[in-house]
Amino acid sequence: MTAAMVLSAGLGTRLAPLTDELAKPLMPVGDRPALGHIAAALGRAGIATIVANTHHRPGDFLREIKRWKPEVHLVHEPVILGTAGGVAHATAALGPGAVVVWNGDILAPALDVASLVARHREASAGAMWVVQPAAAGEGTVGLDDEGRVVRLRGERFGLETSGGDFLGVQVMGPELRRTLPGTGCLVADVALPLLRHGGRIDTFLYRGEWDDIGQPASLLRANLRWLEARGLEAWSAAGTTVEARARLERSLVGEGAAVTGAGVVRECVVFPGARLDAPASRLLAGARAILAVDDGA
For 99-147, what is each residue's pLDDT tens digit?
Answer: 999 999 999 999 999 999 999 999 988 899 999 999 999 999 999 999 9
Q: Is there a contact between 105 and 14 (Cβ–Cβ < 8 Å)?
A: no
Backbone torsions φ then ψ of 145, nearest 5 degrees? -60, -25
User: pTM (2 decimals)?
Assistant: 0.95
Per-residue pLDDT, 69: 76
Segment 261-274 shows an average pLDDT of 98
User: Taking 60 as the threshold, does the pLDDT of residue 297 lie above it?
Assistant: no
Among residues 192, 143, 184, the alpha carbon closest in space to that of 163 is found at: 143
Query: What whole-number distance in Å separates Cα of residue 36 and Cα of residue 69?
Result: 8
% residues pLDDT > 90 (the chain) = 93
Amino acid at 239: G
Q: Is there a contact between 128 and 120 (Cβ–Cβ < 8 Å)?
A: yes
Residue 68 pLDDT grade (very low, low, confident, very high; cuts 50, 70, 90): confident
pLDDT in tens, 15-28: 999 999 999 999 99
Q: Is there a contact between 238 and 287 (Cβ–Cβ < 8 Å)?
A: no
Query: What whole-number distance in Å separates Cα of residue 49 and Cα of residue 72?
Result: 7
Residue 1 pLDDT grade (very low, low, confident, very high; cuts 50, 70, 90): low
Contact partners, residue 45, CB within 8 Å, separation at least 6:
112, 113, 114, 116, 117
